[in-house]
Amino acid sequence: MPRRSAETPDATPGAAASRSTIADVARVAGVSKATVSRFLNRRDELLTRDIAARVEAAIAELGYSPSPMAQALKRGRTRLIGLVVADVTNPFSVAVLRGAEQACQEAGYLVMLFNLGNQAARELEAIEALSSYQVEGFILNTLGSDPAALAAATRLGKPVVLVDRRHAGMQSDFVSLDNAGAVLLAAGHLAEQGHGELLFISEPTAGVSSRQERAQAFQAFLATHDGHSGHSGQLQGSLFECDEQHPQALDAALLAARQRAGSRRLGVLASNAVVTLRVAAALARLGWHFGEELGFVGFDETEWAPHVGPGLSAIAQPTGDLGRIAARCLLERLQGHQLPPRQTLLPGRLIVRGSSRKV
Amino acid sequence: MPRRSAETPDATPGAAASRSTIADVARVAGVSKATVSRFLNRRDELLTRDIAARVEAAIAELGYSPSPMAQALKRGRTRLIGLVVADVTNPFSVAVLRGAEQACQEAGYLVMLFNLGNQAARELEAIEALSSYQVEGFILNTLGSDPAALAAATRLGKPVVLVDRRHAGMQSDFVSLDNAGAVLLAAGHLAEQGHGELLFISEPTAGVSSRQERAQAFQAFLATHDGHSGHSGQLQGSLFECDEQHPQALDAALLAARQRAGSRRLGVLASNAVVTLRVAAALARLGWHFGEELGFVGFDETEWAPHVGPGLSAIAQPTGDLGRIAARCLLERLQGHQLPPRQTLLPGRLIVRGSSRKV
DNA sequence: TTGTATGCGTTATCAC
DNA sequence: GTGATAACGCATACAA
């Protein structure tokens, strides 16, 4: 079948108006494909002025743009970055995504997103799907529970940057909030505001590194201050993992903590926004109020934090920067820089609202 | 340079372990490339048992999987769907994304996401970038302000499904909430709960169809009930567009509405979650409270709606279904079904909480 | 039933 | 400076 001539508008619905190719441009310009290709890739060197002009005109006339697919096939470079996210519903992940996307776009890369929908089992699948599309590197914000996934990526020789969550035995670059510092910031603030009994509430750790780090930092904080008497006498605290399935267990944990507190004030630290919402639900069931029966600080700043109760104090993560830095980190490796695995830790910012202020 | 032999593990870091190709499989299995290809695509017909076994073994040994890029180049089919979103930060968009993604995945398609970051100017750019990767169709949840964008998609003969927002002069399938019905539901509820003065608050319409539809439906509701005396005397209402830049204008609008209400109760209807947050901020400035100085219903159900004030009543959109239906709609067209443009309108669901209940 | 040859749209290596 | 031509990895018409 002869190629459809370029002049034919081809209004036939359904019959995709086949994109014009480099061959079409060459024919219209009356030159060879090689010349067109040269014009495109190394337009400055070795080109007669009038030939360059003709090629340029032909490209404009046909609205030609090269096929990244074919280019990828030939060059082995796709200018594609694979971004795997545990859950797009998570605002933290989305914020990171935005930062990464922006940095990639500036560098002429396109981001291919794969959403796990919190199914850890799909982690390997994601990496394979993405790498079959020849993405040049990965940004991973996943559970990190499947070692095979990370192995697959490195086996393929593709650089990986991990965000927020480490993977077991990883050799990759890593970008994250300074969890230890952030916990200190929050717990210190609660103590300073006169909360003598602290409760750290987390999702089930389930091997997620950031959750572990935050819990450990909290324990370290307690150990440091144990025996010391703070602003309101003895400082003590405990940890609780709140399971989605058993909300009443959270209620019980809160009641128990209040009991332990006695005359001291109870301060609660929620390890992320999901936990914050669960705590809010628990308070509603108990008839408690933020800033009254308990002081509160939660990880992750959200748009709704100012409007719940007296305003929820929060640890804001530099999400955009995390994404941007992760992307830049990856892009540097793509340039071929041989560097040892780097870790970048960014500080959190405490935003104080009514929920944690001394009455 | 001779191809690296398959047995070499090639641990050289940085030197991407080149994926094995169909040629490698053919060589290992001792057959031709065509045979391998046939095994892959039409494995049932025409294949000697032992040859099939050999090919299968070779594939397993090499961990071979075909390159979608090369397949796309050859077949013209990529199994890629382009999804353009005005703003990934918008929970509505993300929820739609999830539904669409799931449906596409089930059909063996991969979703390529392009985020506009609310820059309308990038709409055309998005469509061109995506279509250069040969996506087979588009799901668009964009501003719809750039007619050239939609034109570009249809010019390329690629089917398009619009979600939530219509485009000017569109010929495409369209999936959305039944905005008129939803407004009736919300306004009717407010009236029924004894709110005699209604205020509809929207973002600047700016040509976004869903905003227009909601505003018009509200006006229609007022027209219908004008003169009629409802549960609390005369029913009246007005509309206000709240600009992000001038929050104090919103405060003034609320005060004015309260004034007009006189002894009647004031009911406020927010046209989306962003507006709801702005109203919450305004109430904080005015010292008002949801459910007291005003009754409230907002479009879009959010995770935080139950925890703001006495709980915010909301119109929940069937976001997951919207995405799923949009994807299925597109996939049907991809199968080659020639159908006229379809519109699918899904009903909203009213969730009543403290903010709108009769005291 | 299997192998050979060709082309998808590019880029790169040669000649000219 | 420019033009043939051979790959890249795959699918397919055709030959055997």
In a domain, A289, yes or no: yes
Q: What is the pLDDT of residue B149?
A: 85
User: Along chain A (359 residues), what's the average pLDDT of each consecutive run of 10 residues?
Assistant: 35 51 93 91 78 91 90 89 92 94 91 88 88 91 84 85 89 95 98 96 93 97 76 82 95 97 96 96 97 97 97 98 97 87 97 92
Distance B88 CA to D7 C1' (A): 41
CA distance A221 to chain B (A): 30
CB B93 within 8 A of CB B314: no
Angstrom distance (rounded) from CA B25 to CA B55: 7
**A237-288: pLDDT as tens digits:** 999 999 999 999 999 999 999 999 999 999 999 999 999 999 999 999 999 9
| A193 and A269 share one domain | yes
CA distance B112 to chain A (A): 6
Residue B288 φ then ψ, to 5°: -90, 170
Chain A residues in contact with B67 (beta carbon < 8 A) = 73, 132, 134
Query: Cβ–Cβ contacts within 10 Å for residue A24, how many?
Result: 22
The domain boundary residue, chosen from B56, B75, B94: B75
CA distance A140 to chain B (A): 16
Reduced to 3 states, what is the DSSP secondary structure of residue A72?
helix
Best CA proximity match to A199, nearest among A304, A311, A275: A275
| A261 and A230 share one domain | yes
CA angle A262, A263, A268 (to 5 degrees): 70
Domain hosting A63: range is 15-75
What ranges in chain A are assigned the alpha helix state H?
Answer: 22-29, 33-41, 49-62, 68-75, 91-106, 122-132, 147-155, 179-192, 209-225, 247-261, 273-286, 319-334
Q: What is the pLDDT of residue A341?
A: 92
Cα Rg, chain A, nearest whole Å: 27
| B71 and B84 share one domain | no
Angstrom distance (rounded) from CA A187 to CA A267: 8
pLDDT band at B145 (very low <50, low <70, confident <90, very high): confident
In a domain, A93, yes or no: yes
| A311 and A332 share one domain | no
- CB-based contact, A335 to chain B, within 8 Å: no
Q: In which residue are the tokens 């509160």 written?
A: A296
In a domain, A226, yes or no: yes
pTM assigned to the model: 0.88
Best CA proximity match to A356, nearest among A326, A318, A312, A320: A312
Q: In which residue are the tokens 């609202």 written?
A: A353
CB B327 within 8 A of CB B158: no
In a domain, B3, yes or no: no
> Among B68, B132, B309, whose Cβ lies nearest the Cβ of A68?
B132
Distance B247 CA to D3 C1' (A): 66
Reduced to 3 states, what is the DSSP secondary structure of residue B205?
coil
In a domain, A212, yes or no: yes
CA distance B239 to chain A (A): 24
| B63 and B87 share one domain | no
Residue B219 has pLDDT above 80, yes or no: yes
CB A33 within 8 A of CB A23: yes
Distance B39 CA to C15 C1' (A): 41
Total domains, chain B = 3
CB A119 within 8 A of CB A98: no
Please report residues contacting nucleic strand D, using a CB cutoff of 7 A.
A 30-35, 38, 46-48, 51-52, 70, 73-74; B 3, 18-19, 21-23, 33-34, 37-38, 40-41, 64, 66-67, 70-71, 73-75
In a domain, B358, yes or no: no
Q: What is the pLDDT of residue B230?
A: 54
Q: What is the pLDDT of residue A9?
A: 37
Q: In CATH, what number is assigned to the domain containing residue A113?
A: 3.40.50.2300
Q: What is the pLDDT of residue B5?
A: 36
In a domain, B95, yes or no: yes
Q: Which nucleotides of C are covered by protein (CB under 7 A)?
A: 1-5, 7-13
Q: What is the pLDDT of residue B7?
A: 35
Provide mean pLDDT across the span B187-203: 96
| B115 and B190 share one domain | no
**B42-87: pLDDT as tens digits:** 776 667 888 889 999 999 999 899 998 899 999 888 899 999 999 9
Residue A119 φ then ψ, to 5°: -95, 105
pLDDT band at B228 (very low <50, low <70, confident <90, very high): low
> Among B66, B88, B284, whose Cβ lies nearest the Cβ of A98?
B88
| A308 and A200 share one domain | yes
Distance B40 CA to D15 C1' (A): 22
Angstrom distance (rounded) from CA A139 to CA A327: 7
| B146 and B51 share one domain | no
Q: What is the pLDDT of residue A346?
A: 98
CB B336 within 8 A of CB B110: no
CB B101 within 8 A of CB B111: yes
Chain B residues in contact with A17 (beta carbon < 8 A) = 155-157
Angle between helices A22-29 and A33-41 (to 10 degrees): 110
Q: In CATH, what number is assigned to the domain containing residue A20?
A: 1.10.260.40
| A313 and A336 share one domain | no
In the chain, the amino acid numbered B283 is L
Q: What is the pLDDT of residue A11?
A: 34
Distance B32 CA to C3 C1' (A): 6
| B213 and B296 share one domain | yes
In a domain, B5, yes or no: no
- CB-based contact, A129 to chain B, within 8 Å: yes
Sequence-distant (6+) residues with CB within 8 A of B33 are B22, B23, B26
Note which residues in 65-94 of chain B have CB less than 8 A from chain A.
65-70, 72-73, 76, 78, 88-89, 91, 94
| DSSP state letters, B96-139 | HHHHHHHHHHHTT-EEEEEE-TT-TTHHHHHHHHHHHTT-SEEE
| B212 and B226 share one domain | yes
Give the E-state strand segments of chain B in sequence order. Answer: 80-85, 110-115, 137-141, 160-163, 173-177, 195-202, 229-230, 233-234, 236-241, 265-270, 295-299, 313-316, 343-346, 349-351
CB B334 within 8 A of CB B326: no
Q: What is the pLDDT of residue A248?
A: 95
Angstrom distance (rounded) from CA B171 to CA B200: 31
Sequence-distant (6+) residues with CB within 8 A of A178 are A345, A346, A347, A348
Angstrom distance (rounded) from CA A234 to CA A299: 25
| A170 and A221 share one domain | no
Residue A33 φ then ψ, to 5°: -55, -40
Q: What is the pLDDT of residue A120?
A: 85
Range with lowest mean pLDDT among A133-137, B160-164, B257-261: A133-137
